[in-house]
Amino acid sequence: MNKPNQDVFSEMLLALARDDPDILVVTSDSRGSGKLAPFGRELPGQLIEMGIAEQNLVGVAAGLAAAGKTVFAVSPACFLTARALEQIKNDVAYSDHPVRLVGISAGVSYGPLGSTHHSLHDFAALTAIHNLTLLAPADNVETAAAVRAALVWQGPLYLRFGKKAMPDLSPARAPFAIGQARLLSEGRDVTFIATGEMVVEADRASELLRAEGVSCGVISMHTVKPLDHDAVLQAAARSTAIITVEEHSIHGGLGSQCAALLMQQGSRARFRIVGIPDEHIVTGSQGEIFGHYGMDGPGLAIVARRLLGMEGSAA
């Protein structure tokens, strides 16, 4: 049964922590939204509740990591990466403490709660911080693999999860490595490079386009930093067009990184960034927001047709 990625994260974390008392969860009044209530009931000595105090959350997590504990700091992405940005920069990244920062309900997962609860800045802000790895798994399979990888990762790391149940796009034991994108399919005409929950929408768009005879590829860029340069450059070499897709601002995220890389390498591939535009965004559910901005499967198919100059692209 498909689940939200953050549910898979919390279930895996509990299973791992049962056998390792050094695994600790620090949270900021988020055990409900982070699906951590079962963890707290079963392992109360391994969960630390900080209340609504994200800066303290990160500072305490860094201190515990410095003492040799395996620490997951869990909080809504919008608050963790804004209120505690200085602590992430100095206490975690600069000090090189291996804290696993976990941003839950990311992107526009909070839907009708509006812009105060959306995290459309986190890739941009955190990419600019040295010594911080950023992961945004696409589905339950990637999430499970990412949690295992995070457990043994030696440096500071940020995991980004959403609230929507996600269909799996790959077999249960698909290879996964931090920094290595997953090629779901190859395309000569267009390749979508997507991250997080947008990979599913890119896959839906690719199905629509293939039915029209378009050779369409999809890459899951689960590691936003460090970016898999080879995967991006190879996609641009074999495809006429590249479209990046992210549940984030069009500025400073996955698309910006890919654009900078392709321009500096002299790529001639046609290119578009799809994400949230630079405006006060509409209020609605995640699905409604995706539809409004053309970020769902049908909307992405339209972007691809226009980029390829196909007939009927004004649909």
CB-based contact 263:123 (threshold 8 Å): no
Half-sphere exposure of 131 (CA within 13 A, CB side): 15
First vs last Cα of the chain: how many Å apart? 35
Choosing from 42, 49, 54, 142, which is the catalytic residue? 54
The separation between CA 295 and the C-alpha centre of its own chain, rounded to angstroms, equals 15
Q: Which residues partner with 133 through β-bridges?
A: 157
Instruction: Please state, in angstroms and as integers, the Cα–Cα distance from residue 54 to each residue in 69, 87, 146, 160, 294, following that order.
Output: 19, 9, 23, 16, 33
Total Cβ atoms within 10 A of residue 109: 25
Instruction: Please state, in angstroms and as integers, the Cα–Cα distance from residue 53 to each residue in 27, 37, 74, 273, following that order.
Output: 9, 19, 12, 35
Which tokens in the block code for residue 135? 């992961």
Q: How buried is residue 270: exposed, middle or buried, by Cβ count under 10 Å (0-12/13-18/19+)?
A: middle
Amino acid at 92: V
The helix or strand, by DSSP H or E, that contains position 102, with its residue range, turns out to be strand 100-104
> Can you list the pairs that 285-293 forms with residues at least 24 positions away whose Cβ atoms lie under 8 Å?
285/111, 285/112, 286/107, 286/108, 286/109, 286/111, 286/162, 286/163, 286/164, 288/111, 289/108, 289/111, 290/108, 290/201
Q: Distance between CA atoms of 16 and 9, rounded to whole angstroms?
A: 11
Active site residue 54: yes
Edge-to-edge, what's the strand order for the sheet holding 216-220? 182-185, 216-220, 190-194, 241-249, 270-276
Classified as helix, coil or strand, 127 is: helix
Q: What is the set of active-site residues? A: 54
